[in-house]
Amino acid sequence: MREIVFHLLVVVCVLGGTLSMAGALIWLERRLLALWQDRYGPNRVGPFGLFQPVADAIKIFTKEDWIPPFADRAVFVAAPAVIVVTVLMSFAVVPFAPGVWVADLNVGLLFLFGMSSLGAYSLILAGWASNNKYSLIGGLRAAAQTISYEVFMGLSLMGVVMLAGSFSLRAIVEAQQGVWFCVTQFPALVVFLIAGLAETHRLPFDMPEAESELVAGFHSEYSGMKFGMFFVGEYLAITLLSALATVLFFGGWLGPVLPPLVWFVLKTGALICGIILLRASLPRLRFDQLMSLGWKILLPVALLNIVVTGAIALLGK
């Protein structure tokens, strides 16, 4: 009975934590961007503008939720939900601390890949259902980008799987007791982060929305809470990416002195800040550059990493 209660508690906490994290991130990102770009950012609502997300939420909830008449209604409504659902589902297999997880699948990593590939539907369907040529182009870009970068993401993590000997995220964390995989699998880390950014369509890989060319791309026609869901989904995806990088490469909850959960949150937070810094500092790529970067650099690097890791693992036996 106690275990079931604990389990339920974890589920609720994860759901609430991640959603509120997304809200906090909106504020954090705007503040950090402002800091790095030498301006103020939101600082009026509450101390340091801390209540800005609340104000944003109120505004978004109360806006008119408009569906264009030319849109494909059902798909148009379903699309934003998909991204939020898939990202939240992904959190189910992330181990936050020993015993603190929703599910410990022995194919956890594969589950993550599945969810991230399903997440692509959100953008593609939104682009298609809007029935607008900019949105369609955005959706097409999202499809090509997601299909391509999923390959490298999967391949880059095979080295980690080989070293840990399991698809289970818990086992991967436990395999880093000695040395973190960010040392032994450095190329994989680089490829994973780039591919992850591309999967979440963050700058410098935000070709599907690309305000300057596609007028916000796949979500041009969205407003109100549907737009809000895309927004929240994006920040959830950033959190997920950082959490995954922490689990896969930075030893998850492992660390001295402090309690495990704290270590996990610290590492994830640092990575989130890093990702925001990337957004602040890098320009957007062209689409062909994105593709050639993926197929001509990341793919060979990931493959080489697998071969070398496999060879070393074989020799080490």
Partner 1 sequence: MTVIFYLSAIIAVAATFLAITRTNAVHALLYLAVSLLAVAMVLFTLGAPFAAALEIVIYAGAIVVLFVFVVMMLNQGTATIRRERAYLTPSMWIVPGLLTLVLFAELVCVVAWVPEAAGAPAEAIGPKAVGMALFGPYAIAVEMASLLLLAGLIGAFHLGRRDEE
- By CB under 8 A, the count of residues binding partner 1 is 30
Judged by CB under 8 A, the stretch of 4-12, 139-147, 239-247, 285-293 that binds partner 1 is 139-147
How many whole angstroms separate alpha carbon 157 and alpha carbon 105? Answer: 17
Q: What's the closest the beta carbon of residue 92 comes to partner 1, in angstroms?
A: 14
- Decide whether 87 or 144 has the Cβ nearer to partner 1: 144
Q: What's the closest the beta carbon of residue 293 comes to partner 1, in angstroms?
A: 19
Select from 49, 139, 251, 252 the one that contacts partner 1 (CB under 8 A). Answer: 139
Binding map of partner 1 across residues 165-204, x = CB under 8 A, - = no contact: --x-------------------------------------
Residues 91-110 contacting partner 1, CB under 8 A: 105-107, 110
| Paired tokens of 47 | 């101390």
User: What separation in angstroms does the CA of 108 have from each of 167, 195, 315?
Assistant: 6, 19, 27
> Which amino acid would we find at residue 195?
A
- Decide whether 109 or 243 has the Cβ nearer to partner 1: 109
Residue 100's DSSP bridge partners are 97
- Decide whether 75 or 278 has the Cβ nearer to partner 1: 75
How many whole angstroms separate alpha carbon 205 and alpha carbon 199? Answer: 8
Question: Does position 147 bind partner 1 by CB under 8 A?
Answer: yes
Question: Does position 120 bind partner 1 by CB under 8 A?
Answer: yes
Judged by CB under 8 A, the stretch of 117-125, 208-216, 275-283, 305-313 that binds partner 1 is 117-125
Residues belonging to the chain: 317
Question: Does position 113 bind partner 1 by CB under 8 A?
Answer: yes
Question: Does position 150 bind partner 1 by CB under 8 A?
Answer: yes
Select from 42, 53, 154, 233 the one that contacts partner 1 (CB under 8 A). Answer: 154
- Decide whether 16 or 165 has the Cβ nearer to partner 1: 165
- Decide whether 121 or 264 has the Cβ nearer to partner 1: 121
Question: Does position 121 bind partner 1 by CB under 8 A?
Answer: yes
Judged by CB under 8 A, the stretch of 118-126, 175-183, 255-263, 278-286 that binds partner 1 is 118-126
- Decide whether 34 or 85 has the Cβ nearer to partner 1: 85
First to last CA, the chain: 44
Question: Does position 272 bind partner 1 by CB under 8 A?
Answer: no
How many whole angstroms separate alpha carbon 24 and alpha carbon 96? Answer: 19
Question: Does position 144 bind partner 1 by CB under 8 A?
Answer: yes
How many whole angstroms separate alpha carbon 193 and alpha carbon 241? Answer: 8
Which residues form the interface with partner 1 (CB under 8 A)? 72, 74-75, 105-107, 110-111, 113-118, 120-121, 124-125, 127-128, 136, 139-140, 143-144, 146-147, 150, 154, 167
